[in-house]
Amino acid sequence: MAISARVALTTTALAFSAALVLAGCSSGDSSQSSGAASASTTKAASGTQVTVTETEYALKLSQSSFTPGTYTFTADNAGKVTHALEIDGPGVSDVKTKNLGGGQQAALTVTLKKGTYELYCPVDGHKGLGMDQHITVP
């Protein structure tokens, strides 16, 4: 069982690499999207650490004031149902965690600029139930 799980992970990683190579080769106009790409491909924890505690159905951020710079938002599912975290705003588009079961965590590293960003749970219906927060970077 351990071996087959490892093979599956390797296959996924290879497929992901191939997708990146294809995306790189096909681009005549990739410069337009480079900002968003750099935001979503940085996986290592860096910058200011912010915890986003997720419950049914609310988000609670460990800090509420922000300045331009790099932040790592760690989504902490403290609830019982599946949640995730997505961030959208200037230079940050469609950056999201995988679905997280209760007790799981995942991190997103993004560079915030001046503007307003929305953090929300992309699981069906949860945003409308209250898992939605806006932060403003002055």
User: Using CB under 5 A as the criterion, which residues of the chain lie in contact with Cu ion when the complex forms?
Assistant: 83, 121, 123, 126, 131
Cross-strand pairs, 73: 50, 108
Block residue for tokens 């149902």: 81
Q: How far is CA 10 from CA 15, 55, 77, 105, 123, in A?
A: 9, 33, 27, 22, 27
In the complex, what is the shortest distance from the CB of residue 66 to Cu ion, in angstroms, rounded to a whole number? 22
Q: Which is nearer to Cu ion, 6 or 134 (CB)?
A: 134
Question: Can you point out the beta strands (E) in 83-128?
Answer: 86-89, 92-96, 105-112, 115-120
Output 37 or 58, the one with its CB closest to Cu ion: 58
Quote the CA–CA distance of 19 and 17 in Å, as a whole number.
5
Q: Which is nearer to Cu ion, 29 or 124 (CB)?
A: 124
Peptide bond into 57 cis (omega under 30): yes
Smallest distance from Cu ion to CB 78, Å: 11
Tokens representing 127 are: 């945003």
Which residue, 121 or 135, has its beta carbon nearer to Cu ion? 121
Minimal distance, residue 105 CB to Cu ion, in Å: 14
| Residue 118, phi-psi category: left (phi > 0), alpha (psi -120 to 50), beta (remainder) | beta
Q: Which is nearer to Cu ion, 83 or 95 (CB)?
A: 83
Minimum distance from residue 114 beta carbon to Cu ion (Å): 28
CB of 22 to Cu ion, least distance (A): 32
